[in-house]
Structures are given as structure tokens and as C-alpha cells.
Amino acid sequence: MTAALKVGIAGLGTVGAALIAQVARQREALAARCGRAIEIVAVCARAKGKDRGVDLKKMKWFADPVALARAGDIDVFVELIGGAGDPAKGAIEAALASGKSVVTANKALLAKHGVKLAALAEKHHVALNFEAAVGGAIPIVKTLREGLAGNSFERIYGILNGTCNCILTQMEQDKMPFAECLKEAQRLGYAEADPSFDIEGHDTAQKLAILASLAFGTKADQSAIYVEGISSITPADLLAAEELGYRVKLLGVAVKTDKGIEQRVHPTMVRKDSAIAQVMGVTNAVTVDAAGINPLTLIGPGAGGAATASAVLSDIGDIARGVRTSPFGRPSALLKNVRKAPMQRHEGGYYIRLLARDKPGTAATIATRLAEQEISLESIVQRHPAHVDTDAKAGSVPVILITYATTEDAVRKALAAVGRDRVISGTPQVIRIEKN
């Protein structure tokens, strides 16, 4: 009988404890599915005496994750420490250099150092698996890397941050402003005390960098992504979206264009009848557009101990079965550099909300400036008194424009001209519309 696969875990937080419990609970099933037993034989964490709700008595304790990574009695090193640098980075490098396969849930590290780590794994002929780094329990990494390996990808986009989706859902359903919904999300534990990493789109950008690499063969590079958060979204925008047949989501989007791979994170309007528009609360979703098949949407829990541990264990199971593929779906030497695509080149429809001054000639001036940039309008809506915009000022009328496909550059130039004409109050709200 094949010897058991011996696993060492660095990091015993919520995910690490859930992983140990799941391995114990599924011991027989895992052996049957993988052709060999999976045993957790060593662990590493900051505090040895902390009660984590799992039995660690038979496991060897390490105070140093790098020492665990180099230990001769483990086959697989599982990194659940987090962070883009050391000790996680040093420990993974030590494990790979020692000829051990690695499983990690560390999106920050992969977005910054993923290509170098992949090259190190390939050099030593070991696996570097990271299903849990994107989308929690959603098997999107395997889908892109293995399940759809024969397809040519055109676009991948998704809801990759449960905190933002939770806030936008509550804003829409309870008609509450952003600040109040953020406080509620913090109270419920869905948002951090300092939520900026989530709400400003950076968490989504790290995950998108990984997905874009898998889909398009680019080097994972968070700095190549345009990032915009959700803090500017108001209940007025969500109400308008609902009336126009849309819903607002924070999306990470990577799309193949004639000018290269465009990568962006921003609030987006999606049709209410699309699959991704139905995803509410803390749930994540990813839609894949590939040549020859209809769009494929995967939906599931994007975070949490059990969901993340499930993805980690799936990666361990692949190693137990002897499955090893290039971490990013192709040899790291073939991954291409990607430059940040200027958003001015982006093409698509736009939602524009203006506070137009209530005086003669305002509408004609706005229409003229849009026409000068060859922007065609699909619809124009002037808000009625029953739909008062809380951002509106005395003497201003909320006006909502939906454009046909145009460029970001044209929209920005037109709005700049309208601003110079002094026929609007405040800053226009602009939300991109994603074609579904």
C-alpha cells in the first residue's frame, strides 16, 4: 500500500483549525479517493497553548515556519500564515527548495511573487497549488488551469470580495447609505476594523491578478490593474439602477482586447437578469467567457474557515493522487508581461448621474457636449420629486444618462466640458456598464 502523504501546516487560525478537523472527519473517504492516506503530522503557530478546538497532541510542534518547511518528515507544506512577505514567503521558498510541494491560500503573496514561486516549484519538480487563494470554495483555479485547458478565454469577471457584495446588497435592500452599511458589516464581522483594503478594491485586485494569469498567460501583477472602490456609491445610484434594470456590483474584470489584456476593478452595473446580478450577501461568483461555450458562472462561499479549508484540502488531495501541473497553467517562462491598460481606452456603456442646474439651456448644453464627443444616449431620466436625490442641492435637478458604447476618454472629456460650462453642481457620478 502507498505510504501516507504527510502534511505540515503553518498557521492555525480559523482555516488551519478547520483543515485539521476536516482531515480527521474525512480520513477514510480521503484515502479511498486519493489512493493513500493523508496525515497531518506537524504544525506551526505563534501560541502553542491556545485552544483551537482540535486535537494537536500527535502532531509535532514547530515555532518557526521555515524550520517546518524544511522538516524531513513532511511531504507537503501548507502555508496559512498570510501576508505578501516573510515569514510566509521565506517558508514557501524553503519548502519548494527542499523538494516539498506547497499548498497556500495566500493571494497577496501570489499576486506579488507568484511567478518567481512558480519558477521555483517547476525547478524542483513539485506542486504549488492555490485553489483557496481566490473564491474560497469555488473551484475557479482548477476550472481555468485544468477543466478548460483546451479553451481560448475572452473574458473573466466576478464578485471576488464578500464584504463589498454584502454592503452593496444591504444598501440596495434596506435603502441605507454606504457608511451605515459599512458599520453594520463591521458589527457582524464581515468587515475589518480598517476596511479600506476591501472596500477600495485592493483585495479584489489581488485575486484578479491571479485569475488573469491563469486565463491569459500573463504574469500576475497587481500593479497592472486599474482599481476603484465602492465608497462613492449612494442609495440614489442603486435606486436608479433598479429602475433601469441593473444592479451594482464591485467586479474584477480581465478581458482580451485588440490592445492587450485589460484588467480593472470598479463598481459596475450588470443586467438584473444576469447570473452574477443574482449573487447577494457575502457570496462570491466568477463568470468565464470562452470561445465555443456559453458563459460559465461559478457561485459559492468566498471566505470562511470551512470553505477555505475545503479548497486547501482539494489541493492536498491532488498532490496525494500525483497530479501536478504548472502553477499558472503553463511554464512560468512563457508567462507574458502585462502593462496597465489606460482606462481612457476602455469601451462600453456608462451610467452618468448629474445634478443639473435648473435653468434654461442646461439640457441643450449637456447634449451638445456629449455630441461633441460622439456619445449617443440610450436613455435620459430626470428624477421626479418623489425620487429626491439626497445629494441634490437647491436649484439642481438629478438627471441620469445611460450611454451606448463609447470610450472612457470621451465620457471624461464631455463631463469636463459640462463642468466648465457651470451647468451642473458637484461631481458627476460615473459607473461603467458591463455587457452580460
Provide φ and ψ at 201, rounded to 5°: 90, 0
Q: Smallest Cα–Cα separation from 292: which of 134, 150, 100?
A: 150
Cell of 103: 499548498
Q: Is 292 left (phi over 0), alpha (psi -120 to 50) or beta?
A: left
Q: For residues 350 and 329, what is the distance between their CA atoms, to the nearest angstrom?
A: 34
- Burial grade of 362 (CB within 10 A; 0-12, 13-18, 19 or more): buried
Does residue 209 contact residue 109 with C-beta atoms inside 8 Å?
no
Q: For residues 349 and 110, what is the distance between their CA atoms, to the nearest angstrom?
A: 33
Q: Choosing from 207, 272, 393, 413, which is the catalytic residue?
A: 207
Q: Which residues pair with 40 in a beta bridge?
A: 7
Q: Is 401 left (phi over 0), alpha (psi -120 to 50) or beta?
A: beta
Does residue 138 contact residue 132 with C-beta atoms inside 8 Å?
no
Does residue 268 contact residue 248 with C-beta atoms inside 8 Å?
yes
Does residue 93 contact residue 117 with C-beta atoms inside 8 Å?
yes
Note if 112 is an active site residue. Answer: no
Alpha-carbon distance values, 140 to 63, 211, 215 (Å):
33, 8, 10
Pairing of strands 38-44, 60-62: parallel
Q: For residues 273 and 277, what is the distance between their CA atoms, to the nearest angstrom?
A: 7
57: which residues sit within 8 A by CB, 6+ positions away?
none
Pairing of strands 406-407, 347-357: antiparallel
Residues tagged active-site: 207
